Amino acid sequence: MTNILIFIIVISVIATLVQIVRVSELLSEIKNKDVNEVTDKDNNTQGLLFLIVGFGFLIFVVWQMITWDHLLLPPASSVHGTQIDLLMKVSMGLIIVVFFITSPMLFYFAFKYRGKKSNNAYFLSHNNKLEVVWTVIPTIILTVLIIFGLKTWDNAMNVEVTESTKLIEVYAKQYNWTARYSGLDNKLGKANYKLVKGKNTLGVDMLDINSADDKMAREVHLVVNEPVLLKFRSQDVIHSAFLPHFRVQMNCVPGITTQFGFTPNKTTAQMKESEGEDFEYVLLCNKICGASHFNMQMKFIVETQEEYDIWIASQDNLEKKLLTQK
């Protein structure tokens, strides 16, 4: 029934449009004018519209920046993230300035130079000096941005791994995450996908001497201000581990181990204070991986050393979990 109704509405709208267009054409025929000729009046209206709608758009942009500012991610909760935020501020500031120079120019030119039958355009085919200027200026600005960007990138990706760096594996599969702590020896035992069986969901090689004290968990606890190196593996398709609050992202690729090192510098409790009681650090999947891609998450908790020690002690190690409990 609704379909028929929609059909009838569509037909009548088309019929009305045809009538309107016919009438306007007939009217201009009577006046002996070409309905599709662009008149000075059209130029005035359209030029003015560019001014109004164009600047309306710019106001809309400013409105969005103000209204939705509180929805954006809070400042980074990691050491390298702070530098990324700075680079983001600089780049964003720059493109906003360029945007608010060039866009108004475009809309204003459209308005200002709207045509008139009696007017003539100014013949100007090129101006080498001008062209050099607007090639060189972007080049200089970009050089600065590139250098700043590459430094930040280097800093974020080439983390130094020291004794105190905690090693944690994050294992992705459709559609959940599992973490593996490296235990007292801070070494992850070897793993192989062929060993995935029963409780050994990560395929850890229990014959490896480093495996026994590893611990598996469904949430990740980190110690504030302690560097951590995340190692990523995937069981089935490509996933992407995305920790927006820490400015961390890395793909998890089957057959390959990837990694990302960072140092969290704000505890969950601190964040709850500034961002509200509901705040949690989360790990999201950010590479299309199947039907439940949108709901593949794991909690991250940043806490003090004492809190962490209590939590980690409560977790069974793999030797106990896989070998003794049958």
Partner 1 sequence: MSEHHKENFITKYIFSMDHKMIAKQFLLTGMFMAVVGMLMSAIFRVQLANPGETSILYNLLPSTWLNDAGGLNPDKYLALVTMHGTILVFWVLTAGLSGTFANFLIPLQIGARDMASGFLNMLSYWFFFIATVVLLSSLFVESGPASGGWTIYPPLSALPQAIPGSGTGMTLWLISITLFVVGSLLGGLNYIVTILNLRTIGMTMQRLPLTVWALLITAILGVLSFPVLLSCGLLLVFDRSFGTSFYLSDIIINGEVLHNEGGSPILFEHLFWFLGHPEVYIILLPALGIVSEVISVNSRKPIFGYKAMVGALLLIAFLSFIVWGHHMFMTGMNPFLGSVFTFTTLLIAIPSAVKVFNYLATLWRGNIRFTPAMLFAIGTVSAFITGGLTGIILGDSALDINVHDTYFVVGHFHIVMGLSAIYGMFAGVYHWFPKMYGRMMNKNLGYIHFWGTFICAYGVFFPMHFLGLAGLPRRYYSNSAFPMFDGLSDINSLITFFALAGAIVQAIFLFNFFYSIFKGTKASQNPWKSNTLEWTTPVERIHGNWPGELPVVKRWAYDYSKPGAEEDFILQTEPLKDGEIEH
Cβ proximity to partner 1: between 1 and 313 the closer is 1
Handedness of CA 206, 310, 175, 293 (dihedral sign): negative
3-state secondary structure string across 40-103: HHHHHHHHHHHHHHHHHHHHHHHHHHHHCHHHCCCCCCEHHHHHHHHHHHHHHHHHHHHHHHHH
Handedness of CA 56, 62, 68, 73 (dihedral sign): positive
Cβ proximity to partner 1: between 251 and 315 the closer is 251
Structure tokens at 316: 């069974």
User: Among the candidate windows 96-104, 163-171, 221-229, 266-274, which touches partner 1 by CB under 8 A?
Assistant: 96-104
Residues 118-137 that bind partner 1 (CB under 8 A): 119-127, 130-131, 134-135
**Sequence letter at residue 46:** Q
Structure tokens at 48: 């003015």
Does 104 interact with partner 1 (rule: CB under 8 A)? no
The Cα–Cα gap between 194 and 205 comes to: 10
Mapped onto helix, strand or coil, the DSSP state of residue 181 is strand
The Cα–Cα gap between 266 and 283 comes to: 16
The correct pick among 51, 61, 206, 271 for binding partner 1 (CB under 8 A) is: 61
Bridge-based pairing state of the strands 215-217 and 239-243: unpaired
Supply φ then ψ for residue 210, to 5 degrees: -80, -10
Residues 248-307 that bind partner 1 (CB under 8 A): 248-251, 253-256, 258-259, 278-280, 282, 284-295, 297
Residues 27-56 that bind partner 1 (CB under 8 A): 34-38, 42-43, 46-47, 49-50, 53-54
- Going from the C-alpha of 84 to that of each of 68, 69, 80, the distances in angstroms are 21, 18, 7
The correct pick among 51, 55, 82, 88 for binding partner 1 (CB under 8 A) is: 88
The correct pick among 1, 71, 207, 313 for binding partner 1 (CB under 8 A) is: 71
Number of residues that bind partner 1 (CB under 8 A): 121
The correct pick among 178, 240, 263, 317 for binding partner 1 (CB under 8 A) is: 240
User: Among the candidate windows 182-190, 210-218, 232-240, 307-315, which touches partner 1 by CB under 8 A?
Assistant: 232-240
Does 99 interact with partner 1 (rule: CB under 8 A)? yes
The correct pick among 31, 129, 194, 326 for binding partner 1 (CB under 8 A) is: 194
Work out how close the CB of 138 gets to partner 1 at its nearest, in angstroms, rounded to a whole number: 4
Residues 138-177 that bind partner 1 (CB under 8 A): 138-139, 142, 145-146, 149-150, 152-154, 156-158, 173-174
